[in-house]
Structure 1
Amino acid sequence: MTGLDALSWPAVPSGATVLLPIGSTEQHGPHLPFDTDAVIARSVAGVVGERMLAAGEAVVLAPVLAYGASGEHQSFAGTISIGHEALRFVLIELVRSLSSWAARTVIVNGHGGNVPTLASAVPQLRAENHRVAWLPCAVSPAAAPGPDADARAGSGLPAPDAHAGRIETSLMLHLAPTAVTLPLPLPGNTEPMSELLPLMAAGGVAAVSPSGILGDPTGANAAEGAALVDAMVADALRRIAADAPDARGMLR
């Protein structure tokens, strides 16, 4: 989908829904680029926008916001984090500006570390009567694979993992294959996040994974990435159509 950055002002439709993808600039192991979250968010938002346009809806794809709250990755060289306070300020001002000409804003989030900020900023904006909500680049619960192989059979989707593992690597092999460094690295820390979070709270991702990987990228492939994008797009379209944000402003 052609983004707002490539349009002139007369080409902007009135009463449009603006899709605002946000990601991060943070390490994603030795094999994925720093803009992984931004690429995923922008790609999912772009396909969602194309589907909405095809259905006759007025929609605009805003430029991706590639800086987020990534403090847990700060010990890895190259990571750029603006933190929750700055991200909150930026999101509030962006939506206030967008609301002057757009009918509504849907923030498409590609980085889990941004969620606390979204859950704070979006309810404030809604209290100011801005029509805004957010959604994650996620797979709907009905399509999500279970914790065992039998539950995942036939889904075409890999099991959930945390960071730079099979899911994100498969997505990038589909969306930006030349940006993935091959051969794929060995698995990182694959312990449950519930066990890792206390250590990460004290020392960041590096405290639990020197490589920066939380998961196992070794089985990643582009076909799974394509299936994941399809599932994420379907989930996003369902949420947007339902238009039922929860108390955090997240579309359900």
Structure 2
Amino acid sequence: MGARDVDRVARGRRGVGGALRAFAPALRRARLSLPSRPGPASPRAALQHARVDASPGGARADRRAPGADHRSRSRQGRLPGIHPGELVLSVHLLEELSTTSLDALDRGRTLVILTVSPLEEHGPHLPLGVDAITARHFATEIAGRLVATRPGWSAVLAPTLHLGSFTFDAPGTVTVRQRVVRDAVVDYGLSLARAGFRFIVVSNGHAGPTHLAALEEASAIVARRARVTMASVSGHLAWSFRSGRFLDQVEAQLGRALTDTERAAFAEDAHAGWWETSMMLMLRPDLVDERWRALPPATYSLPERLVPDYPLKRGGQGYVGHPSLADPVFAKATCDVLVTEAMALVDALLDRRLGTFRRAPFSKIPLLRTNFWPVAAATGFAVAALAWLRPRR
């Protein structure tokens, strides 16, 4: 906290400005005492925690839509063994830190989480920001688990970048070129690396193949150029989740087995269906249109899915799957599993136990890589030029 921060607080509380003084950021943790035993959070602590759990756009929780406030407060109970006050000290919003406060963080024990997801249509019942809201939730959960399991560590949540490629084109969708996504994430990563941060993780809620490839390419570029640890955890997890590899763990969290109908529906789920509608019912039910209950299943064969914007063709409403099956209990079970799997990857990265980071299969397909078409065009031109210049007999 610097002098400007002290002045701002003082103006908001008449009569206390004279009792405050600026102090070195490095002393802040030592000078702020915590309660000796866990207990109900004070209103001030609840407000500060809500600010940590800000929405994807960086807005503070006290400015959320009606009905959202109780969800922010309830999250305090999700971190066993850690007092809410300690969470306030350990999880930071990058845009709310001063340069001196950020510079005071221990680079060797700080994880920066960068959220990157597009604005994209999600049927007639879900908001455009589904991917970003979901990704921000995972980023916040990972940050909370990190500081709960690694004493002395801090997490910094960077503002959400609403960028993404391979999107379904409809009013509200912001389509960004794959190269732009990759380069933007590279610039963010290199900037953080220049500031001395050694551990950077990308959180993402969009499963577009070229988008996943761009995030993994960007992370590899930053890691190589700056000699830091940076990885996108979403590609591998999204592929494993969509392939059904975590369903046994989800059933264990639910306390029951999925029916054959549910397993078949999960295999068909892809966009604004059962899972994403469940996620939004858990995270932001105020943004879910009530028509979700009456939406019929929308299923597509593999050849149909190869057509651009296929959920919007032939009367499609922009979703793929079974949104009417949505249930926030299902969302919570899947989240617990996914965050646990993500933390296993994060821990391995921080401890340098992961030699080669596991990527999504899309990154291995040349056609989906950022440089494929420029390289292919240049190669074709070179071959044509050599053929033309070759002496004719």
TM-score, normalised with respect to structure 2? 0.56
1:60 aligns with 2:156: yes
Q: Distance in 1 between matches of 2:180 and 2:274?
A: 31
How many residues get paired? 241
Q: Which amino acid aligns with 2:277?
A: T
1:197 aligns with 2:305: yes
Residues 82-141 of structure 1 show CA distances to partners (whole Å, capped at 9, x for unaligned) of 120111110110100011231211001110122121233222223212321111164766
Residues 27-81 of structure 1 show CA distances to partners (whole Å, capped at 9, x for unaligned) of 000000000000000011101101111222222111111221144x12x111111
Q: Distance in 2 between matches of 1:249 and 1:217?
A: 26
- C-alpha distance 228-85 of structure 1, shift in aligned 2 (>3 A): same
What are the within-5 Å matches in structure 2 for residues 98-117 of structure 1?
98-100=192-194, 101-113=196-208, 114-117=211-214
Q: Which residue among 212, 224, 236 is the counterpart of 2:342?
A: 236
Q: Is the 8 Å Cα contact of residues 188 and 211 (structure 1) preserved in structure 2?
A: no
Q: Is the partner of 2:291 in helix, strand or coil? A: coil
Match of 1:30 in 2: 124
Q: Is the 8 Å Cα contact of residues 106 and 133 (structure 1) preserved in structure 2?
A: yes
Aligned-pair RMSD on alpha carbons? Answer: 2.8
Q: Which runs of 5+ in 1 are unaligned?
A: none
Higher relative contact order (CA 8 A, sep 6+): 1
Highest CA radius of gyration, 1 or 2? Answer: 2
Match of 1:120 in 2: 217
Q: Distance in 2 between matches of 1:135 and 1:58?
A: 19
Could you list the structure 1 runs, at least 4 aligned residues long, displaced by more than 6 angstroms after superposition.
Answer: none
Q: Which residue among 357, 373, 379 is the counterpart of 1:246?
A: 357
- C-alpha distance 145-211 of structure 1, shift in aligned 2 (>3 A): farther
Match of 1:180 in 2: 288
Q: Distance in 2 between matches of 1:173 and 1:3?
A: 25
In terms of fraction of residues, the more helix-rich structure is 2
Match of 2:3 in 1: none
1:46 aligns with 2:140: yes
TM-score, normalised with respect to structure 1? 0.84
Q: Which runs of 5+ in 2 are unaligned?
A: 1-51, 53-91, 362-393
Q: Which amino acid aligns with 1:172?
A: M
Q: Is the partner of 1:19 in helix, strand or coil? A: strand
Q: Distance in 2 between matches of 1:209 and 1:132?
A: 42
